[in-house]
């Protein structure tokens, strides 16, 4: 890592010292202007994704931006448009889509290992509680379960079933107006269903299962970055598939960014712009249904 940038010199200096980073910049713009920086990873609170990514893209820097890409589809689309106009690489840091275990499971499903997919079940819940100023509860920071946690179950459903034809959702809202406990159902004209939950009122298994007409795949927890899965097929013994997982899983998205940059690609086929925008559109739809709006 060459440099770090933050909204203040103090926080940038502290982070650089903690992680032995050579240079610290007091702003995103200063980081983006650093001639020795080729690609920038944005890991601010959700509300900071859009302005930070925009500053970096306009400076001509490649960007890997944490999920959720921004607070809504409209601002996400703006980033994609800027990246395309300036011909700069841009990718959402949705590590689940780059995970080799997930990619292996998708290939098995595509090869017909479990027949036609009929059901996806996924959850992500944490216990909390969080203080009002915490990013998980602050509306101004895009707080709530949906954007921080729910994006993973939604992504898992999308990976195996694509965009739904029908959406239903309900949530228990906090005094701040953010979702604390949310249930989502996706319906597909094929007859398939996805049942998804996210919350910050209790730890859930963080599990996922994909069921088909001839079997199912059960992901080992945590499902958003699974170390393996069990393949159940009709008439056969369960097959445990384990993928080598050195590190914490972030290395796979970093490697994909490096591969794309070396190949001169402006977007990743694993996390294409169209998919990021489609997911953001689904999250927008769910937020309207549960009555959540950000300041």
Which residues form the catalytic set? 67
Beta-carbon count within 10 A of 39 CB: 18
Show the beta-strand stretches assigned E in 16-87.
23-25, 39-42, 62-66
CA distance 244 to 239: 16
Name the DSSP letter for residue 290: H
Nearest Cα to Cα of residue 200 among 137, 242, 118: 137
CA distances from 40 to 5, 145, 164 (A): 9, 26, 33
Residue 251 CB contacts under 8 Å (≥ 6 apart), including other chains? none
Using alpha carbons, select from 61, 55, 59 the residue that is nearest to residue 6: 55
**Extended strands (E) in the chain:** 3-5, 23-25, 39-42, 62-66, 90-93, 117-125, 166-173, 179-187, 193-199, 208-212, 215-219, 228-233, 239-242
Between strands 193-199 and 39-42, the pairing is: unpaired
Token representation of residue 275: 């998919």
DSSP annotation of 135 reads T
Q: How do 90-93 and 117-125 pair as beta strands? A: unpaired
Contact 194, 185 (CB under 8 A): yes
């Amino acid at each position: 890592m060459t440099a770090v940038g933050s909204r203040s010199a103090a926080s940038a200096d502290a982070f650089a010292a903690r992680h032995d980073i050579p240079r610290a910049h007091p702003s995103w713009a200063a980081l983006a202007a650093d001639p020795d920086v080729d690609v920038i990873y944005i890991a601010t609170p959700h509300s900071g994704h859009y302005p930070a990514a925009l500053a970096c893209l306009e400076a001509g820097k490649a960007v890997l931006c944490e999920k959720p890409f921004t607070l809504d589809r409209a601002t996400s689309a703006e980033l994609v448009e800027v990246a395309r106009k300036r011909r700069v690489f841009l990718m959402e840091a949705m590590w689940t889509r780059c995970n080799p275990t997930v990619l292996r499971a998708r290939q098995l499903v595509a090869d017909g290992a479990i027949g036609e997919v009929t059901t996806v079940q996924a959850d992500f819940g944490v216990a909390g509680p969080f203080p009002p100023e915490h990013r998980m509860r602050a509306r101004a920071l895009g707080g709530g379960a949906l954007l921080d946690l729910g994006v993973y179950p939604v992504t898992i459903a999308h990976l195996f079933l694509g965009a739904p034809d029908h959406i239903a959702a309900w949530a228990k809202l906090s005094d701040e107006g953010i979702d604390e406990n949310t249930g989502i159902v996706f319906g597909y004209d094929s007859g398939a269903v996805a049942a998804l939950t996210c919350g910050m009122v209790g730890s859930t298994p963080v599990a996922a299962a994909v069921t088909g007409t001839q079997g199912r795949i059960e992901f080992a927890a945590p499902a958003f970055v699974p170390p393996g899965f069990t393949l159940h097929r009709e008439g056969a013994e369960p097959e445990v598939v384990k993928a080598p997982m050195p590190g914490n899983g972030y290395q796979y998205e970093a490697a994909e960014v490096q591969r794309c940059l070396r190949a001169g690609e402006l977007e990743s086929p694993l996390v294409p712009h169209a998919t990021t925008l489609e997911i953001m559109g689904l999250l927008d739809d769910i937020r309207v249904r549960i009555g959540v709006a950000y300041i």
